[in-house]
Amino acid sequence: MNLNLHYDALEQCRREARNQAKNFGEGFSAKTTATGLLGGVGGTLLAKIAAVETLVEDEFRAARTLFDGVETGLDSVDRIVRKAHGALYQPKPEMTV
């Protein structure tokens, strides 16, 4: 079995999780967006827009957290597999009687 192929696959998945996490709201700010949209006009409508933006911001943060967890999990799998693989090929200590 060629473990290098598996290591490369794990690295590729980890990299993709990191890239996807960056797609969720990097630089998104609920307060500046709502104010910029209406130029300071507006009571109820502005409050509704701000509430939606805050919800979106929270969802983006949750998505980034999930992708960060995937990346961390894949890193752990990689380390565990490498450690196990190394243990398989280490010389076995000789037993003395």
d(CA 62, CA 58): 6
Look at residue 59 and tell me if it is in a domain. Answer: yes
Look at residue 93 and tell me if it is in a domain. Answer: no
State percent of the chain over pLDDT 70: 68
Look at residue 97 and tell me if it is in a domain. Answer: no
For residue range 30-61, list pLDDT tens digits in order. 665 445 555 555 677 878 888 888 898 899 98
Q: Total structural domains in the chain?
A: 1
Closest CA to 76 of 15, 2, 16, 14: 14
- Helix intervals (H) in the chain: 3-22, 30-38, 43-88
Look at residue 25 and tell me if it is in a domain. Answer: yes
pLDDT-based confidence at residue 27 (cuts at 50, 70, 90): low
Look at residue 95 and tell me if it is in a domain. Answer: no
For residue range 76-85, list pLDDT tens digits in order. 988 888 888 7
Q: Token digits for 36?
A: 């910029």
Look at residue 18 and tell me if it is in a domain. Answer: yes
Determine the structural domain holding residue 70 and report its residue range: 3-87
Instruction: Record the pTM.
Output: 0.65
